[in-house]
């Protein structure tokens, strides 16, 4: 086993940050070459940004003076302050040489110092028909005593390949059941009249969406915090594209979805999709997804893929995404360990 030196990274050390980004790109090229190539500016912004919702730090692992791996740790600041969420990366040439174990030991030390009782991380596994994937990360976390807390699937859609006529037929089929609702779509921050209702729906994710065995508590997001979080994303260069359905009589926000588009406008990720249980049965999830897809296509005509993730147990949302044209890319397993 190699002698591994673990240090906390100073966000002002741009030379080390550049090394870390090159490491991140190398790991990406080896493990997920079909995914969008990591970008420098969002990487730098995430590490330097003063984010009131999530504090981020990095541990760097050196072997014989050479950078061999890193751990990125995210500390929730307001809600779920018992969690330490982390992601490990080791360059292929230094795997199975103790670097991952040393980084995990560093994460555990920092979690103890921060008085966080629960460690959470994710790992990928291949799926039938999907691109090649290594399950080394999953095997490592299991060997380190982590248990499976939630099993989910990452899917993506090629918006340019969507059959417009089929999409319109699906939307027309949904509309009669949603006659009591009106839809709105937008780019940028959530419009003020919708912000409170949107925040309320995001909070419901912790109670309505399947969370498996995750040790997670309901969030307390409000309109002001939602807008602050949106501004933080915009400051990182992320483009926000969203759609919502609102009940005509009460004005209540009944369904919401948002796509976060990378700065070049080439790829997007679903940040949230949820329908209020009191308003289900009206095909609102499908409607808002179609509306946001259309706005993404109009706003970013060269965008290639939109990615989304769903717990395996969330059969309803999985069915919606598959009907819209999302295809499975990889299994995403969330692991958890209580100190």
- Condensed to tens digits (0 to 9), the pLDDT of residues 173-205 reads 999 999 999 999 999 999 999 999 999 999 988
Q: How far apart are the first and last CA of the chain?
A: 26
Q: What angle do CA 163, 170, 185 make, to 5 degrees?
A: 90
Q: What is the pLDDT of residue 82?
A: 97
* Rounded Cα gap, residues 240 and 132, in angstroms: 30
Separation of alpha carbons 50 and 129, rounded Å: 41
- Give the CA distances from residue 186 to residues 244, 249, 257, 268, 290, in Å, rounded to whole numbers and listed in that order: 9, 22, 11, 15, 13
**Percent of the residues in the chain that have a pLDDT greater than 90, as a whole number:** 90
For the chain, domains (ranges, CATH) are 4-116 (3.40.630.30), 156-329 (3.40.630.30)
Distances (CA, A) of 89 to 44, 102, 123: 17, 12, 11
CA 71 – CA 299 distance, rounded (Å): 35
pLDDT in tens, the chain (339 residues): 779 999 999 999 999 999 999 999 999 999 999 999 999 999 999 899 888 899 999 999 999 999 999 999 999 999 999 999 999 999 999 999 999 999 999 999 999 999 999 999 999 999 999 999 989 999 999 999 999 999 999 999 999 999 999 999 999 999 999 999 999 999 999 999 999 999 999 998 877 777 889 999 889 999 999 999 999 999 999 999 999 999 999 999 999 999 999 999 999 999 999 999 999 899 999 999 999 999 999 999 999 899 999 998 899 899 999 999 999 999 999 999 997
- 338 by DSSP, 3-state: which? strand
CB contact at 8 A, 127 and 318: no
> Which tokens belong to 97?
């040489």
Which residues 6+ apart lie within 8 Å of 50 measured at CB? none
The model's pLDDT over 274-303, given as tens digits with 9 standing for 90+, comes to 999 999 899 999 999 999 999 999 999 999
Q: What is the pLDDT of residue 211?
A: 81
Mean pLDDT (the chain) is 95
- pLDDT for res 209: 74
Q: What are 123-147's pLDDT values in tens digits?
A: 999 999 999 998 999 999 999 999 9
Closest-CA residue to 76 (of 103, 96, 57): 57
Number of neighbours of residue 129 by Cβ within 10 angstroms: 8
Measure the CA angle with vertex 161, ends 156 and 163; round to 5°: 115
Three-state secondary structure call for residue 240: strand
Q: What is the CA radius of gyration of the chain?
A: 21
């Amino acid at each position: 086993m190699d002698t591994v030196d673990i240090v906390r990274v100073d966000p002002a050390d741009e030379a080390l940050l550049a090394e870390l980004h090159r490491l991140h790109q190398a790991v990406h090229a080896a493990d997920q070459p079909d995914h969008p190539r990591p970008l420098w500016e969002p990487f730098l912004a995430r590490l330097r940004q003063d984010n009131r919702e999530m504090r981020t730090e990095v541990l760097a692992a050196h072997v014989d003076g050479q950078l061999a791996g890193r751990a990125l740790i995210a500390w929730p600041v307001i809600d779920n302050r018992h969690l330490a969420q982390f992601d490990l990366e080791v360059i292929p040439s230094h795997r199975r040489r103790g670097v991952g174990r040393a980084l995990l030991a560093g994460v555990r030390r920092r979690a103890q110092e921060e008085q966080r009782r629960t460690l959470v991380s994710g790992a990928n596994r291949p799926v039938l028909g999907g691109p090649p994937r290594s399950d080394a990360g999953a095997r490592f976390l299991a060997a380190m005593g982590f248990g499976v807390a939630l099993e989910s699937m990452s899917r993506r859609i090629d918006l340019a390949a969507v059959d417009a006529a089929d999409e319109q037929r699906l939307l027309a089929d949904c509309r009669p059941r949603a006659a009591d609702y009106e839809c709105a779509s937008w780019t940028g921050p959530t419009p003020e009249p919708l912000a409170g209702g949107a925040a309320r729906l995001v909070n419901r994710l912790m109670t309505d969406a399947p969370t498996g065995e995750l040790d997670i508590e309901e969030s307390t997001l409000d309109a002001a915090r939602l807008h602050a979080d949106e501004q933080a994303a915009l400051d990182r260069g992320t483009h926000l594209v969203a759609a919502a359905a609102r009940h005509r009589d009460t004005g209540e926000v009944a369904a919401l979805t948002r796509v976060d588009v990378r700065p070049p406008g080439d790829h997007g990720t679903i940040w949230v999709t949820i329908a209020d249980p009191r308003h289900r049965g009206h095909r609102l999830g499908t409607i808002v997804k179609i509306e946001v897809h259309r706005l993404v296509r109009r706003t970013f005509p060269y965008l290639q893929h939109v990615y989304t993730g769903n717990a395996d147990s969330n059969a309803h949302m999985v069915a919606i995404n598959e009907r819209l044209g999302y295809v499975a890319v990889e299994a995403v397993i969330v692991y958890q360990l209580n100190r």
